[in-house]
Structure 1
Amino acid sequence: MNIRPIRSEADYQAALKEISVLVEMDPALDSPEGERLDILATLAQSYEAKHFPIDLPDPIEAIKFRMEQGGLTVADMQVYLGKRNRVYEVLNRKRPLSLAMIRRLHEGLHIPAEVLIRG
């Protein structure tokens, strides 16, 4: 199979090129080409995570995104953040998220806790 680690930008670009060819072939998962694709994709993903990290989103922006995504209103958010005025205070960054709010948002809206704690 002769697969090497991806250690440089050149290695990464070569792996992407080969991944593209393999994807076009659409190999069966248990075929040699399918296994090669799986391994190369894993190596490329590891290289990307190390060299192109993605920062966690801002907690308030994550809440607003989830509201937009779910069609949620300020009234809907009262379950997670408290009374209407408190919802507005949080969304306008006038009040920080409490631990109880973080828990409710995480459990109810499935916003990752590490995103909410970041604030």
Structure 2
Amino acid sequence: MTTYFNTTIYSQLLVFQPKAIATEAESDRTLEAVEKLMACKQRTPEQTAILQLLVILVEEFENKHYPIEPASPHAILKHLMEARGIKQSDLIGIIGSKGVVSEVVNEKRAISKEQAKALGEFFYVSPALFI
């Protein structure tokens, strides 16, 4: 089934006149338009085209103004420990002695590949998170 794309309807939908987003206010207005279009149960091809364009503009703005920095292996370890109520003493014997565990948790020592593997098994996550 071929869907017909009506350029006249598309032009009428461009009342919003999308452009690169430069401010929070513009971002908010664009997000409102995205939400309205997403709420349409039977979205037309023209509405879908506008929605895709607006999403790209929002993503570009957010990536520029709110970049997500990858977490360090040590930050991931600390997060998992906190989230699961794990203390340093719980890692003794899993990744090393009391001193080694302290150095790893306090970022004074890098996490080795063996320790990453052990932490992955202990937390049931990929060891790659700790490398």
When the two structures are aligned, how many residues end up with a matched partner? 115
Assess if the C-alpha contact under 8 Å between 1:75 and 1:84 holds in 2.
Answer: yes
Q: Extract unaligned runs of 5+ from structure 2.
A: 1-9
1:27 maps to: 39
2:22 maps to: 9
Give the 3-state SS of the residue equivalent to 2:119 in structure 1: helix
Report the residue type matching 1:31 in the other structure: R
Which stretch shifts more, 92-101 or 34-43? 34-43
Identity of aligned residues (%): 25
Return the TM-score normalized by structure 2: 0.57
CA distance 1:49–1:6, shift in 2 (3 Å) = farther
Return the TM-score normalized by structure 1: 0.60
Report the residue type matching 1:27 in the other structure: A
Give 1:108 deviation, angstroms. Answer: 4.8
RMSD: 3.8
Matches within 5 A, 1:1-119: 1=10, 2=14, 7-9=20-22, 13-23=25-35, 27-28=39-40, 30-32=42-44, 35=48, 36-37=50-51, 39-78=53-92, 80-106=94-120, 108-109=122-123, 110=125, 113=128, 116-117=130-131
Give 1:42 deviation, angstroms. Answer: 4.1
Give 1:25 deviation, angstroms. Answer: 7.8
Q: Extract unaligned runs of 5+ from structure 1.
A: none
Assess if the C-alpha contact under 8 Å between 1:6 and 1:47 holds in 2.
Answer: no
Structure ranking higher on relative contact order (CA contacts 8 Å, 6+ apart)? 1
Assess if the C-alpha contact under 8 Å between 2:20 and 2:57 holds in 1.
Answer: no
